[in-house]
Chains A and B, each alone.
Chain A
Amino acid sequence: MKVSKLTYLLVIALALTFASTGCRKRPTGITDIKGSTTRIGEPGPTGIPTGRTFSPDPGISSQPGLGGGAQSGKYDPANCTQNREALAAHTVHFEFDSAVVKSSEKANVEAAAAYLKANPNVGLLVEGNCDERGTEEYNRSLGERRALAARELIVASGVEADRVVTVSFGKDKPEESGHDEAAWAKNRRDVFVVLIPK
């Protein structure tokens, strides 16, 4: 009776050992001929263990006032209904690697300014875009400068500065998917989106 109980305990102990080692993704060790020991683990970038769970979707949305600054309240694009049609005919196009609004494009900027003056309860989102030729983050910076260039002109014409917000899409939102000058010329642009506060 005592022997069988001992055997029973041994079996459980063995089973537990297998359970704890068998399921482990991590290594069990290393046999070193020279006698030093090195574990081949799952080291991370700088010896930090990886393989730890991380959430593919952290599920935190952007909540105003949660640190790191907040977008400009009333005309935060996230808090507004967007009307992309109203000023669709007035997209501003740019020269290669330039954030200067050409004189031939100024009428489009003036049309956006006039719309804002005629509709005092809306805001304007200026989306700056680039062609695919530059590098990614350079283009994101260039797209923002294009959006800011139009914003400057609109504000200079007398529209309240806080009604005009900017965003850069770099080369991530092309109008045309081609890889030639015709497509690139269409993609170097500011798009005007009317923001209607919810």
Chain B
Amino acid sequence: MKNRIPFKPFFATLGLFVFVSAVVADEEILINKDYVPGKEKPVPVSLSGFTGEAEAVIRLDLTVQGFAFTTPETAQYLLSGSANENLTGRAQDRFNKNMLVNKSYTGASLRRQAHAFVDDFLAAIGRKGVGQTKIAFRAGEGANSEISIADFDGFGAQAITSEKNIVAAPAWVTGHFALCYGSYRANHPDVYHHDLSTGRLTPVARYPGSNISPAPSPDGSKVAMILSKSGAVDLYVADLPDGSNLRQLTKSKEDESSPCWSPDGQWICFAGKINERRALWKVPAAGGAPVRIPTSGVSNPSEPDWSPDGKWIVFTSQMGGFEICVVPAAGGTATPLVSGEDPSWAPNSRTVVYVQRDRNGGRRLSLLDVPTKQTKDVSRLSGINSQPSWAK
């Protein structure tokens, strides 16, 4: 592994060269229209004046939100500034010459100022930036795992459990500084609600059998999860934080796994096998018959996540290896994007954090911009990391 490192700069340079030649704005690219997953060209921007950590932050934030870097002559947006003790940033539209952002920042850290600058730029062109959002994930594996939270780019990672046991499947409670996750702390897999402000841990489901895969509702008042208390693996919903008002939503001998919610809270989507058919399904959160969500072109869908704007479902398909795929939320033709598993949408409904697996069982987090298929590893994290959840 080590003797391959000297080749890296060569490939990086080559990659940059190919990139620059491909990214040229001959005409203005409309960026607020609906996108076609994997088919959009990155929006060309130029960067000048930024250095060091601030430049690295700006580059990562822009790359995973659909931008690529080029010269000022061929860019659609010109970003310039400086990053010494504090950050000064300007963003200008090269076509209409409008100054979109012109600010100097103080406070917090250079990193945060750089994230805020990119967010300001995105807000000025009518988009929602993710620069100051957080992810939760499972760090480690087996009985040596903990739940950690970090900035979305992996900075400031911090374990929020110290269980030295199996913990799994963290999921942010929307609008609250809280997580639901699975823990084997009482010798069986149970679901807990963890309020990160107070440290209070509340059992949500500790029924006989396995209590797994919690998914808080978009309003943070309920949780969908998989329980086996009836003697079969089925989908349930209950109130947060204490798991009261438990209701069973599916009844099958086959498996259900990985629930998620539609952003309006009306539907719960899950992966399952019903009538011998392995597919994505949705069931009304208030109860009712499951409806199949077709995913034409791919097989064995699992791990769905519904985009916050309601338009897409991202999921894992297993066809030999694992592929991150997206499909319109109503179902249709699925688009495979990159190798990986367990995707979670960012609040911008275009960036996804997911897991890449290596041959030796290692797993690492990566970021994917769905419209352009641009990816970046969350390289700040070391060791084995999986099951990311992007705070929304």
Contacts and interface: CB of A to CB of B under 8 A. Distances in A.
Contacts of B191: 68
A91 interface: no
Given A30-B106, A140-B168, A141-B233, A135 B341 contact: yes
B166 A58 contact: no
Most buried by A among B206, B231, B232: B206
B256 interface: yes
A62 B203 contact: yes
Nearest to A141: B257
A135 B303 contact: yes
B143 interface: yes
A70 B203 CA distance: 10
A54 B160 contact: yes
Interface residues of A, number: 69
Contacts of B189: 140, 167-168
A6 interface: no
B169 interface: yes
A61 B132 contact: no
Q: Is the interface of A mostly helix, strand, loop or mixed?
A: loop
B392 interface: yes
Given A27-B108, A48-B176, A140-B213, A69 B207 contact: yes
Contact of B201 (A60, A135, A136, A167): A60
B387 interface: yes
Interface string A128-158: 0000101111101111110110011000000
A45 interface: yes
Nearest to A52: B197
A7 interface: no
B94 interface: no
B326 interface: no
Contact of A40 (B116, B160, B162): B116
Given A50-B134, A77-B188, A148-B232, A45 B177 contact: yes
B226 A165 contact: no
B202 interface: yes
Contact of A34 (B103, B133, B162, B392): B103
Contacts of B104: 30-33
A21 B361 CA distance: 48
Contacts of A179: 359-361
A173 B142 contact: yes
Interface size of B as a range: 35 or more
Nearest to A56: B162
B228 to A, nearest CB: 5
A62 B212 contact: no
A99 to B, nearest CB: 8
Given A34-B103, A62-B186, A77-B188, A43 B302 contact: no
A109 B294 CA distance: 38
B159 A69 contact: no
Contacts of A70: 206-207
Contact of A43 (B106, B132, B203): B132
Contacts of B233: 141, 144-145, 148
Interface string B80-116: 0000000000000000000000111111100011001
A55 B243 CA distance: 22
A72 interface: yes
Contact of B175 (A46, A57, A68, A71): A46
B204 A68 contact: yes
Nearest to A152: B231
Contacts of B229: 69
Nearest to B316: A135
Scoring A50, A140, A143 by chain B CB atoms within 10 A of each residue's CB, the highest score goes to A140
A99 B199 CA distance: 38
B28 to A, nearest CB: 24
Interface of B: 102-108, 112-113, 116, 120, 132-134, 138, 141-143, 145, 159-162, 166, 168-169, 172, 174-177, 182, 185-191, 194-210, 212-213, 226, 228-229, 231-233, 238, 242-244, 246, 254-258, 271, 302-303, 316, 318, 322, 341-342, 347, 359-361, 386-387, 391-392
11 contacts: A30-B103, A52-B196, A54-B197, A57-B161, A62-B186, A69-B207, A77-B187, A137-B168, A138-B255, A148-B209, A168-B228
A-B pairs with lowest CB-CB distance, top 9: A27-B107, A45-B391, A55-B199, A62-B186, A68-B243, A58-B201, A69-B207, A68-B203, A141-B257
